[in-house]
Chains A and B, each alone.
Chain A
Amino acid sequence: MNRGLRDFHGGIHPPENKDLSTQVAIETAPIPDKLVLPLQQHVGQQSKALVSEGDYVLKGQLIAAAEGYVSTALHAPTSGVIASIQNASIPHPSGLSGSCIIIESDRKDEWGKRLQPLDYEKVDVSELLKRIREAGIAGLGGAGFPTSVKLNPSAENTIVTLIINAAECEPYITADDMLMRERSEQVIKGIQIIAHMLKPVGCLPVECLIGIEDNKPEAAETLEQTVKQLHLEHEISVVRIPTKYPSGGEKQLIQILTGKEVPNGGIPADVGIVCQNLGTAVAVYKAVALGEPLISRITTLTGRALEHPKNLEVLIGTPIRSLLNHCGLQQIKLNRLIIGGPMMGVTINDLDTPIIKSTNCVLASTSEELPNPTPQQACIRCGMCAEACPASLLPQQLYWYSKTKDFDKALNHNLLDCIECGACTYVCPSHIPLVQYYRFAKGEIRAQEHDHTKSEHAKQRFEARQHRLAEEAAQKEAKRRERSKAAKLRQQKATIPPHNSESESNSEDKAAVIQAALERVKSKKDKTSKLTPEVSNGSAAREEE
């Protein structure tokens, strides 16, 4: 199909190195002895573990539930025993550990109760959304945003276009490529379901575009054939786009395919578009049509430190070490191990880090392939970075502001629009790690924002406490005054010579005491009725103590 394609600003052409891992078909990785499942595999709130040590779980069984709206469920990828729930290495640039469920597999790979397969055309959209949430699907490329949230756009945005991101623009990665070549039917059916869900009742079906870089002709052809076989030519179009990094960036792909620009700080739904990853479509198909939760994915194992680079269907939670061994890792050659691609991935040091839902690639690189960073030199203001930037930013300016911690200026130059694609770093002749400066600046800005909300909160609590203390002091003062008044009264009584009968004096004494008590109660009542509306949360909690 020939569409008027637009170009985006900048972009680069790094060596692709894709044929490394496309020589053989997708293989199923062996089931490892131990699976490590981080509770945080997605953007949003950490999932909540539902199992405890020693429990026996079956394949596909729910082991952690979504906590909150932006969160996902987690399922046992194979049958086995929960060995522990502890901190373990997670794929994160910090190298810190996170809370993980560890399963010792019993190698039987026995399925538990599967979810009921659904016929997507017969059931309600809300039912489908619920299924996608139950199946724990989070974006299979990129940051891992919970899919059910993305497919539930707010009412004011009418979705007219569904874009399936099959650009796979980063060097080395071929997981989506192989998926399209080998499982095109699942891909297309998954897309059908997603398109169906976005279709407003009684409206035309949404336009559905699969954006694919023209360096994957085989995959594109297979998809086109499948589309024809299923008679979907009018609904789904496969669009070949020129190969250029980072055409797979969400905003960039939207611009290429539709010419629309997503506003600063906005989301694609603002311009009537939903963008989904190709792998996610397959996961949706499996969840809806087969009733299988997201427990495995296709991951590319590549790099010249591997003897047999290839694509593997791996269980979520498989430690990378076992996969590397399966692909013939040559330990001496290994220099840098990267999760994700060479442009945007993160380097990890621990081979026991597990595969998570968004791990599309493991790159075991040699030092010739990805040399260690060259020392940085001064910026020569050549402007090449600005030419390469796909977000049309001024990387060189941003670099100065980030370096000197002038964050206000960096923000004014739209630092937050930077997609951290690394194109600027790639072209910089002075080897300045530009992206690192932006990452640092963004982190610092976010931390400062967090501090501000926190200090605002602390101030409120402090003021509430001051207020409460003042009230308490006033109350005490009032009580003290009353007591002294009562005491005086009693003294006066005492000075008056006693009457003939004792009972009389007693009763009078009593009357005075009762009077004083009544007064006290009354004044207290007044105080509290004045107080209550102003008592803030904090002090209310304290009063309960």
Chain B
Amino acid sequence: MSIVSAILVLLLLAMVFGAVLGFAAIRFRVAEDPIVDQIDNILPQTQCGQCGYPGCRPYAEAIANGDAINKCPPGGESTIQELADLLGREVIPLDAEQGIEEGKTVAYIREAECIGCTKCIQACPVDAILGAAKLMHTIIIDECTGCDLCVDPCPVDCIEMVPLRKTAKNWYWQHPEIEVELNRKELITSDKIAGEADRENAA
């Protein structure tokens, strides 16, 4: 008899907790960003197509469907790292087929040579080029993502990609091991100061 009642009580408890948990799961569901959006947010949005897809979002969709995470050269190592963290995948080196990770560049139009054909405007995915038909065109550096897409369409080859200029504002220290290789003796300013006290200690 006591066994039956024990089983009944346990059963009842199980049902109650099950109901509570079930209710909580529905009531307090956290609406998460769909995985494609999360991936898309990590990609650099250069829209260059080097990954083999017509832009970052299509590549994000492809990754969500199982494509490799190492096909985006503009994002490079840090993007791969972030994607790996997000998706719980292995960090793999950049796929050399798609290109190599280079320093940041921006497009530059040699304005004297520009014939005002507007072809580059049509190619630029982020509207970073200003100009009108038959008039000189120019790049808004702050908007340019360095995707390279405006270079090919130009019939007179007056667009080139130049490295983004390092200024005191965007400069920062490199990894100390690289700095050592560069033999920069300013590496450690706050190293030992051999003053009187130290010499006295040594003596």
Contact = CB atoms under 8 A, between A and B. Distances in A.
A451 B174 CA distance: 17
Contacts of B153: none
Contacts of A451: 44
Interface residues of B, number: 48
A515 interface: no
B46 interface: yes
Given A371-B192, A461-B127, A433 B187 contact: yes
Contacts of B194: 15, 368-371
A349 B56 CA distance: 44
Contacts of B56: 459
A84 interface: no
A462 B132 CA distance: 20
B162 interface: no
Interface string B21-52: 00000000000000000001101111100000
A98 B168 contact: yes
Interface in B156-195: 166-176, 179-180, 185-195
Contacts of A344: 189-190
In the A-B complex, the 3 residue pairs with the smallest Cβ-Cβ separation, listed nearest first, are: A443-B172, A422-B190, A15-B195
B132 A545 contact: yes
B168 A459 contact: no
Given A171-B195, A542-B127, A545-B130, 8 more contacts: A15-B194, A171-B193, A336-B185, A343-B190, A426-B191, A447-B172, A455-B46, A462-B45
B117 to A, nearest CB: 14
18 contacts: A16-B195, A96-B171, A338-B189, A344-B190, A347-B185, A371-B192, A372-B185, A376-B180, A422-B189, A425-B190, A426-B191, A433-B191, A436-B179, A455-B46, A462-B47, A462-B55, A464-B127, A538-B127
B145 interface: yes
B172 A370 contact: no
B189 to A, nearest CB: 6
Contacts of A371: 191-192, 194
B127 A436 contact: no
Contact of A461 (B126, B168, B176, B188): B126
Contacts of A347: 185-186, 189
A16 B200 CA distance: 14
A280 B125 CA distance: 49
A111 interface: no
B65 interface: no
A541 B175 CA distance: 41
B176 A440 contact: yes
A541 B127 contact: yes
B195 A373 contact: no
A417 interface: no
B78 interface: yes
Contacts of B85: 408
Interface of A: 14-17, 40, 90, 92-94, 96, 98, 171, 336, 338, 342-349, 368-374, 376, 403, 405, 408, 421-422, 425-426, 431, 433, 435-437, 439-440, 442-444, 446-448, 450-451, 454-459, 461-462, 464-465, 538-539, 541-542, 545
B102 interface: no
Contacts of A98: 167-168
Contacts of B187: 373, 433, 436
B203 interface: no
Contacts of B174: 440
Contacts of A545: 130-132
A465 B176 contact: no
A342 B185 contact: no
A168 to B, nearest CB: 16
B189 A462 contact: no
A373 B185 contact: yes
Contacts of A93: 173, 186
B152 interface: no
B102 to A, nearest CB: 14
B198 interface: yes
A524 to B, nearest CB: 22
B143 interface: yes
A182 to B, nearest CB: 25
A426 B175 contact: no
Contact of B190 (A16, A94, A435): A435
Contact of A426 (B43, B46, B132, B190): B190
B197 interface: yes
Contact of B172 (A373, A446, A542): A446
A436 B143 contact: no
B126 A342 contact: no
Contacts of A405: 81
Contacts of B131: 545
A420 to B, nearest CB: 9
B171 A94 contact: yes
Given A347-B189, A436-B179, A94 B168 contact: yes
B196 interface: yes
Interface string B140-153: 00010100000000
Contacts of B43: 455
Contacts of A17: 193, 195-196
A145 to B, nearest CB: 16
Contacts of A408: 85
Contacts of A431: 191
B45 A456 contact: yes
Contacts of A346: 186, 189
Given A439-B173, A462-B126, A539-B127, A14 B193 contact: yes
Contacts of A450: 170
A116 B190 CA distance: 44
Contacts of A459: 40, 45, 56
Nearest to A15: B195
A456 B143 CA distance: 11
B188 A436 contact: yes
Contacts of A541: 127
A38 to B, nearest CB: 9
A435 B189 CA distance: 9
B27 to A, nearest CB: 31
Given A15-B193, A93-B186, A422-B190, A458 B145 contact: yes
Contacts of B44: 451, 455, 458
Contacts of B180: 376
Contacts of A336: 185-186
A389 B111 CA distance: 55
Interface string B69-84: 0000000001001000
Contact of A455 (B45, B81, B173, B190): B45
A373 B126 contact: no
A437 B187 CA distance: 10
A129 B165 CA distance: 36
